[in-house]
Chains A and B, each alone.
Chain A
Amino acid sequence: MPTIATEPIIKEIHVDAQPETVFAFFTEADKLTRWLAAEAATDPRPGGIFHQTHRVEGVDYLLRGEFVEVDPPHRVVFTWGFENSEIGVGPGISTVEVTLTPSDGGTHLRLVHSGLPEQARSAHDEGWDTELGKLVRTLAA
């Protein structure tokens, strides 16, 4: 079944910290574990690993991404996908682009997450075909 990408998700926030400070939170493992992941391993250069474990109530989700662009402290791009097939976003499928611009003594952060697959929904089983629905079915099987 062909997968159709959804519209990108775009988030923009202001952070009262310098771009250099914010940038490190996307590339350094010991900073990624402060906001995004329970465990992280990174090699911040194009083709380098961007691996994380996300933990929700004791269930581990293994993110297996790669850095695509690393331009400190302006821009970092990485792929975003999970080894757990029930999530429905495999490694390399989607891409996150982060752009940092100095603004008001701090940083304007723009995050664009593109390439997320549109999920198949069947009329009789709507909802259970969503990613979380699949997850529940897998876990409850």
Chain B
Amino acid sequence: MQELLEAIAEPRRREILRLVRSEELPAGAIAANFADVTRPAISQHLRVLREAGLLAERREGTRRLYRARPEGFGDLREFVSEFWDDRLEVLRREAETEQRRRHHADHRN
């Protein structure tokens, strides 16, 4: 889920998703919308979106075509469920660290 949120946190990646929301586009056509961004940087954005499950890639000859995968967003319940899995794991670590710290402090006193 962190991967997904990070994928959409970058404004240019959101712009890419908007571009390919209703039509499939080749990488070149996507890149043409970003005069100030290098082609390798666009490829990198496409890769991040693909790995987050938000973009589908299809090859046609030498061209690669992209379209948005809105189903990649999943649903709210799933999102919150994964959120708690991640957070509670950190809580466990922090609370155990805190407990050890207290234990040592008690032994010093």
A residues apposed to B, CB below 8 Å: 6-7, 9, 11, 13, 15-18, 21-22, 24-25, 31, 34-36, 56-59, 88-89, 107, 109, 111, 113, 116-117, 119, 125-128, 130-133, 135-136, 139-140
Within 8 Å of chain A (Cβ to Cβ): is B34? Answer: no
Within 8 Å of chain A (Cβ to Cβ): is B63? Answer: no
B residues apposed to A, CB below 8 Å: 2, 4-6, 8-11, 14-15, 17-18, 21, 69-77, 79-81, 84-85, 87-96, 98-99, 102
CB distance from A11 to the nearest CB of B (A): 5
- Beta-carbon contact of A21 and B70 below 8 Å: no
Q: Which residues of A have CB within 8 Å of B84? A: 9, 11, 111, 113
Residue among A7, A16, A125 facing the most chain B CB atoms (10 A cut-off): A16
Give the complex CA separation of A95 and B87 in angstroms: 17
User: Given known contacts A22-B95, A89-B76, is B11 in contact with A127 (CB within 8 Å)?
Assistant: no
- Beta-carbon contact of A131 and B99 below 8 Å: no
CB closest residue in chain A, given B85 = A11
